[in-house]
Structure 1
Amino acid sequence: MLAPIRSPWLAPVLDTEPSEARDARPLGAPANDDVLLDAYSQAVTSVADAVGPAVMRVDTRARSGGAGRGGTGSGVVIAPDGLVLTNAHVVNGAREVRLTDTEGRTTEARLLGIDPDTDLALLRADAARSLAFAPLGDSKSLRRGQLAIAIGNPLGFESTVTAGVISALGRSLRATTGRMIEDVIQTDAALNPGNSGGPLVSSRGEVIGINTAVIMGAQGICFAVAANTANHVVSEIILHGRVRRGFIGVAAQTVPVPRRHAVAAGIGNARGAMLTQVEQGGPASEAGLMMHDLVVKLDGEPVTGVDDLVRLLDRNRIGKPVTVDVLRLGRPRSFTVTPKERAAAK
């Protein structure tokens, strides 16, 4: 005879509440909240409690003369000295930026730098007090199906929490500048206007992305710029006030490297960056790279995803020939590409 199935989700209800209490409770009355909270609910509520205080409402006032427009979005404090990450499209063209925390306290903020090519902007809050913050995590360790929690101010409703899963990693998304944002996380956690610039958070309470876009008319397809790309942008803005990057004219997506191809090529990559677009006349096209080439190394350094490609094509490689190792139809090939400096977005 088969043993009865014991569901771990029902175990707290079955095992921790005395039968007398169940019998005494009126029909339809809720059980104790602590009993009903399962692991999923506990993860979401814990993250909301821990990261929520670091999420700011971002209000902007347009410049005089009609250049830019005012609006509302979200941001997240990533350092105790008041560094705040948000979307470039939230603050672009703004004359004034004001932050409001979950307790209703407001402070002015100044723009340290903006990177339209990743739709990211870095602010510094003017408040002297120490702010609650949520540091950026490592987005490379993420897996599809992992819990993802979005916190922000959609449609003006402050401190809203939605939850879903990571649907895909290493996506490319066209920015408002017309260029491709690389290393984008796709999630089904509900986002709406006003969520822009807020954090996408893992069940560990780490900021794994900055929410950036929704495909209108689609069901559950939302996007966030991955934390590793955000970290690179923040470092560049702090050091140089802007992001200088090498441009080779490609868009890419993080994909697994088939084990048999890795063994045959003598590489250790489990993942690489597959080229999904090669701009005609660009440095990559002129060097002979093609769509569906799987980039596994750049100048001898492993490329295990789009974030590596973004990071390695930095200011130091502009104008200098670099070796790009790829797998083409499973066979290793090498190309020499000379990155150009990517022109500033207008």
Structure 2
Amino acid sequence: MLDFTHDTSFTLDQSDESRSTPSAEPTAASEQALLDAYSHAVIGVAERVGPAVVRVEVGANAKNPRERARQGSGSGIVISPDGLVLTNSHVVGASKQIRLRDHEGIVTDGRVLGVDPDTDLALLRADGARDLRYASLGNSKSLRRGQLVVAIGNPLGFESTVTAGVVSALGRSIRSVTGRTIEDVIQTDAALNPGNSGGPLVSSAAEVIGINTAIISGAQGICFAVASNTAQFVLSEIIRHGYVRRAYIGVSGQTAPVPRRHAVVAGVENKMGALLTGIEPDGPAAQAGLLPGDVAIRLDGMDINGVDDLIRTLDRERIDRTIEMDVLRMGRLRTIDIHPVERKPSAR
């Protein structure tokens, strides 16, 4: 009996060991499958979108190659078969001499249809080009943190340079060269370099969900892209008007908290608002009677929870209309009629 029990125990131990030993093999296989899936996703995106990425050469008519290099270059993405190209406004600058070099090395002249320094975007057209490889703009609102993204550029003539990463954060704000805040910016850890500026940030579905625009110097792995929904709005405005139409009221401000006691007395739910720190003389705000220290909490029925909301609400739909602005002044709610005018386009 003792021997039988011992043998049975030994048999069970062997059985347990045989069951546990192979379990490591599926784990390794699963990890390899995941890596393969990741690689295939990046490869698929690069093959589908890479041919639509062009190198944007600015001041390209200069005879000296070194002079051309000093004048600047970047990347762009063809978004229609008739040659519409999105890039950064800081890549284009004030130049009207543009050349576009595609993935096959074919060069064509380009012309600037319009620039919007406030969002660091520019729309170009490749002259005389038809049936180009192009990519589609996706819906950046569908993005999620941690989602795989691929940045593609054409830096220094190295076509279809590809880096991959994830969406690190959504809804970021960065300052444009004009001082205006660029809203709804995508933060990614996909490595970029200056030559990638203007190139596309692409989802695993091969849709352009951003235009690469900025790198924080000295902060490794922090890069930004203007969301595709912003780009869609900008290009539609440029096609219709040649520039982006925005409303203007002549104020400067900052985001500030609304004291709880003021919110209770005024009967509002805002925790934050846009504190007006400056009023331009003879501007729409001054004519309406707005004062420094007023806190805007609503404009034309839209809640204002900060200066960025105020800037965003002042779009083309509010131009030359008398609208209501609710402000807190000395803790009391006031409704003021204001008449925004069209903002002058930013100088190129």
CA distance in 2 between partners of 1:325 and 1:144 (Å):
35
Q: Is the 8 A contact 1:180 1:251 kept in 2?
A: no
> 1:288 Cα shift?
7.0
> 1:58 Cα shift?
0.6
| Aligned-partner SS, 1:343 | coil
CA distance in 2 between partners of 1:134 and 1:96 (Å):
24
| Aligned-partner SS, 1:81 | coil
**Partner amino acid, structure 2, of 1:11:** S
Any residues of structure 2 matched to 1:62-81 within 5 Å, and which? Answer: 70-81=71-82
Any residues of structure 2 matched to 1:1-346 within 5 Å, and which? Answer: 4=23, 10-11=29-30, 38-61=36-59, 70-247=71-248, 280-281=278-279, 286=291, 290=295, 299-300=300-301, 313-322=314-323, 339-346=340-347
CA distance in 1 between partners of 2:114 and 2:170 (Å):
26
Gaps of 5+ in 1: 14-34, 254-264, 327-332
CA distance in 1 between partners of 2:303 and 2:26 (Å):
43
CA distance in 2 between partners of 1:156 and 1:336 (Å):
54
> 1:314 Cα shift?
2.3
CA distance in 2 between partners of 1:131 and 1:71 (Å):
24
Q: Is the 8 A contact 2:166 2:190 kept in 1?
A: yes
> 1:96 Cα shift?
1.2
CA distance in 1 between partners of 2:275 and 2:42 (Å):
37
Q: Deviations over 1:286-313 (max 9, x none)?
A: 59775xx9x8x86457999999977753
Q: Is the 8 A contact 1:117 1:181 kept in 2?
A: yes
Q: Is the 8 A contact 2:254 2:277 kept in 1?
A: no
Alpha-carbon spacing, 1:323–1:63, altered in 2? closer, same or farther (3 Å):
farther
**Partner amino acid, structure 2, of 1:10:** A
Q: Deviations over 1:203-240 (max 9, x none)?
A: 11111111111111111111111111110100000011
CA distance in 1 between partners of 2:162 and 2:274 (Å):
33
Q: Is the 8 A contact 1:172 1:252 kept in 2?
A: no
**Partner amino acid, structure 1, of 2:29:** L
> 1:164 Cα shift?
1.1
Q: Is the 8 A contact 1:140 1:228 kept in 2?
A: yes
Q: TM-score when scaled to structure 1?
A: 0.72
Q: Deviations over 1:250-280 (max 9, x none)?
A: 7999xxxxxxxxxxx9x9xxxx9x7688653
**Partner amino acid, structure 2, of 1:61:** G
Q: Hey, which of these two has a bigger chunk of helix by percent?
A: 2
Alpha-carbon spacing, 1:84–1:275, altered in 2? closer, same or farther (3 Å):
farther
| Aligned-partner SS, 2:278 | coil
| Aligned-partner SS, 1:194 | helix
> 1:94 Cα shift?
1.5
CA distance in 2 between partners of 1:221 and 1:277 (Å):
30
**Partner amino acid, structure 2, of 1:345:** S
Q: Is the 8 A contact 1:72 1:156 kept in 2?
A: no
Q: TM-score when scaled to structure 2?
A: 0.71
Percent identity of paired positions between Structure 1 and Structure 2: 60
Alpha-carbon spacing, 1:179–1:310, altered in 2? closer, same or farther (3 Å):
closer
Q: Is the 8 A contact 1:70 1:94 kept in 2?
A: no
- Counterpart of 1:28 in structure 2 is none
Alpha-carbon spacing, 1:204–1:6, altered in 2? closer, same or farther (3 Å):
farther
Gaps of 5+ in 2: 1-15, 256-266, 328-333
Which of 70-79 and 1-10 deviates more?
1-10
Alpha-carbon spacing, 1:45–1:230, altered in 2? closer, same or farther (3 Å):
same
Q: CA RMSD in A?
A: 4.1
Which of 172-181 and 139-148 deviates more?
172-181
Q: Is the 8 A contact 2:274 2:306 kept in 1?
A: no
Q: Is the 8 A contact 2:252 2:279 kept in 1?
A: no
- Counterpart of 1:258 in structure 2 is none
- Aligned residue pairs: how many? 300
Q: Is the 8 A contact 1:182 1:306 kept in 2?
A: no
CA distance in 2 between partners of 1:132 and 1:140 (Å):
25
Which of 166-175 and 205-214 deviates more?
166-175
Alpha-carbon spacing, 1:131–1:62, altered in 2? closer, same or farther (3 Å):
closer
CA distance in 2 between partners of 1:157 and 1:40 (Å):
23
CA distance in 1 between partners of 2:102 and 2:28 (Å):
35
**Partner amino acid, structure 2, of 1:178:** G
> 1:180 Cα shift?
2.0
| Aligned-partner SS, 2:209 | strand
CA distance in 2 between partners of 1:341 and 1:172 (Å):
24
